[in-house]
Structure 1
Amino acid sequence: MATLEVEASNQPIPKETTLDIPENDSELQITDQEIKINYSQRAQWLRAAVLGASDGLVSTASLMMGVGAIKQDVKSMIITGFAGMVAGACSMAIGEFVSVYSQYDIEVSQMKRQHKASDDGKESLDEGEKEDLPSPLKAAGASALAFVVGALVPLLSASFIKGYKVRLGVVVAISSLALIVFGVLGGVLGRAPVKKSCLRVLIGGWLAMAITFGLTKLIGLAGI
């Protein structure tokens, strides 16, 4: 008995271990909620919406500036801008639907191959797996809506101004301000330098409007 007691006393004493136990259930609930949210996917959607709105603004403003180079009446600018908004939104929606549907088919095929290679051998997808897949309809709707939101900026800014030169200046000024906002949002969501993002978007929008205005003006002067 004495020998056993000596051996037991010579054994290393385990260090005390501490467990971080939450004081209440709120910490566990927050953790579970954060796990369920796909922040990366959310950021991609928001960034795509910002880019779609920027595209709608630049495209519509450039069209309106192009028509304004040869026609001074407000009706021609508004009709051209509205037609460009509708055509652009439809084009964005169809293109996004086709693109996302292709991605959807690829991911579904990949998941089915993984299931066949695993032990379960099932070919159908679970509800949780289907929820993680991209939705072509949602992507198409989001792209069209973002384009329309961007296109409304130059349309609304020119609708109530009768003076030709003032109207062109207001369209450029309001569009530039909106481009700066889109640049800030794109930089924040894309984790890029905000100043560089604003400059890229702003200079790109100015170039698009200036080139469209200049080339259309040349065509008008040539009498074509």
Structure 2
Amino acid sequence: MRMARHRERHGVQRAGWLRAAVLGANDGLVSTSSLVVGVAASGASGTAVLTAGLAGLTAGALSMAAGEYVSVSAQADVEHADRALERAELAASPAAEFDELVGIYERRGLPRELAEQVATALSDRDALAAHMRDELGHTELSRARPLQASAASASSFAVGALVPFIGMAAPAGRARLTLIVAATMLGLAVAGALGARTAGTALLRPTLRVVLGGCAAMAVTALVGVLTHTAVG
């Protein structure tokens, strides 16, 4: 009798691009809406508000792409350096590296004899891979992917940044500000819920965290806009 295949779904496979995408979407929503709210609160014209929003979207998406690529590339450089160092250590002191691997398995609960058998089997297959995984914690699932992270961050930023533009459909003044804030809060709630669902966590706390953080940012920039309008006007 053939047993049905057991399937498991874990979030580690999505950790790299998910982190970048959630960060990008939240930044796009919060930074662009805050920029638009601040400019609108200053009494600027609709054209000025729209121009500021588009400039913020473009600059933000490019900045996220570049920043994510640089930071994840630095992580990839560390992984490459670790691999080169481990390869050199294996070539210089294979016996010591083998004992180190045995010690790792013993600390995880295996008896000495079984730990040696496991270390022997894994070393015969791919000693470098065994040390990278069990000594340093580097796996294929956690490998740094700069291009993937950069694309996810930039595209999600752009999508998130488009949400506050819904408010531009309202007439200038209080109605426009209200619609921008409402659309942004809804977008933040959706982004927070999607991020939590994709990560496999409960929805309420991550969603509230995202919404409250965005509201605080909009409130501060709106205050700055009002004070600037008062001072300059």
TM-score by length of 2: 0.71
1:118 is paired with a residue of what secondary structure? helix
Q: What's 2:183 paired with?
A: 174
CA distance in 2, matches of 1:184, 1:148: 18
Deviations 1:71-116 (A, max 9, x none): 2522111110000111111111111111111111110111122223
2:186 and 2:66 map into 1 onto residues whose CA distance is 29
Check whether the contact 2:41–2:177 (CA below 8 A) recurs between aligned residues: no
Counterpart amino acid of 1:215? V
> Which of 162, 176, 185 is residue 194 of structure 2 equivalent to?
185
Is the 8 Å Cα contact of residues 20 and 149 (structure 2) preserved in structure 1? Answer: no
Distance 2:21 2:145 in 1: 15
Whether 1:109 and 2:81 are equivalent positions in the alignment is yes
Find out whether 1:150 has 2:146 as its counterpart.
no
- Once the two structures are TM-superposed, the CA of residue 194 in structure 1 deviates from its matched residue by 2.0
2:216 alignment partner AA: L
Q: Verify the 8 A CA contact 1:184 1:197 in the aligned structure 2.
A: yes
Q: How does 1:156-167 map to 2 (within 5 A)?
A: 157-167=166-176
Verify: 1:206 aligned to 2:215, yes or no.
yes
After TM superposition, give the deviation of residue 60 of structure 1 in Å: 0.3
Shift of 1:38: 7.7
- Where does residue 22 of structure 1 map in the other structure? 2
Match 2:43 to one of 71, 77, 80? 71
Corresponding position of 1:141: 151
Report the Cα distance in structure 1 between the residues aligned to 2:192 and 2:72, rounded to whole angstroms: 25
Matching residue within 57, 65, 69 for 1:85: 57
The gaps in structure 1 that reach 5 residues or longer are 1-20
Can you list the C-alpha shifts for 1:145-186, whole angstroms capped at 9, x where unaligned?
11101001112x034333422211111111111111112123
Larger Rg: 1
Aligned residues: 191
User: Unaligned 5+ residue runs, structure 2?
Assistant: 95-125, 130-137
Give the match's secondary structure for 1:201.
Answer: helix
Q: Which moved more, 1:132-141 or 1:103-112?
A: 132-141
On the 8 A contact 2:27/2:160 being kept in 1, the answer is: yes
Is the Cα contact below 8 Å between 2:168 and 2:180 reproduced in 1? no
CA offsets 1:103-130 (integer angstroms, 9 cap, x no match)? 11110111122223336999x99xxx99
Does structure 2 conserve the Cα–Cα contact (< 8 Å) formed by 1:51 and 1:186? Answer: no
> Which one of 95, 101, 104 corresponds to residue 67 of structure 2?
95
Give me the TM-score of the superposition, normalised by structure 1.
0.74
Question: Matches of 1:102 and 1:47 in 2, distance apart?
Answer: 16
Aligned counterparts of 1:138 and 1:192: Cα–Cα separation in 2: 23
Taking only aligned residues, the RMSD between alpha carbons, in angstroms, comes to 2.9
